Amino acid sequence: MTTVIYPGSFDPVTNGHKDIIDRASRVFDKVIVSVLENPRKAPLFSLEERVEMLRLIARNYQNVEVDSFRGLLIDYARQKNTNIVVKGLRAISDFEFEFQMALINRKLDSRLETMFMMTNSRYSYLSSSIVKEVGLYGGDICELVPREVYHLVMRKIREQAGSAN
Ligand code: ADP
């Protein structure tokens, strides 16, 4: 049985992430979508909120599970008994960072393999930051995030916009 980890910030989950989850779930036996708890980043959504939103997506699949982790990905992968990580690639700008991450992870653990899935061209422009930016300035994010989480994302963005006034 092939289990893979799909790690990320998911702040919030977008249709681009959902597309990768959907495709990975067809290729691998089990996909663990895992929210990275990064103490150096100040996310808009709490770890619990990001996990909760991903669970609303994962409900649609029998082989997708949601979790979170902190620290090194190689340690987390060992803990989950897998050596495969899935990442999405949008553009050349992603490539440089992901290339570096994949190589450092392999240097730390030579068994770790990073598999890249090319973005769906419909979502190549999409990132969590774009969603937050568009939403904060009153743009429509309806086609940018999965419908299961739309209201949760909008509520948070409105709270944020309210507190900024
Ligand atoms: P971001 O904040 O840039 O959206 P994340 O850390 O949440 O990034 O992304 C997690 C993973 O999902 C990364 O591998 C990233 O490349 C991938 N990803 C993010 N958005 C997309 C997209 N629109 N299409 C394909 N992959 C994506």
Residue 18 CB–ligand 1 contact under 6 Å: no
Task: Give the nearest ligand 1 atom to 123 CA.
Answer: 23
Q: Which domains does the chain have, with CATH numbers?
A: 3-124 (3.40.50.620)
Give percent above pLDDT 70 in the chain. Answer: 99
pLDDT tens-place string over residues 73-114:
999 999 999 999 999 999 887 899 999 999 999 999 999 999
CB 48 within 8 A of CB 68: no
pLDDT tens-place string over residues 19-57:
999 999 999 999 999 999 988 889 999 999 999 999 999
Q: What is the Å distance from ligand 1's center to 16 Cα?
A: 7
pTM, two decimals, is 0.94
Q: Which residue has its alpha carbon closest to ligand 1 atom 10? A: 8
Examine the pLDDT at 164 and tell me if it is beyond 70.
Answer: no
**Residue 47 DSSP SS3:** helix
Residue 87 CB–ligand 1 contact under 6 Å: yes
Nearest-10 Cα torsion for 122, 123, 125, 127? 170
Residue 118, token pair as written in the block: 């090319």
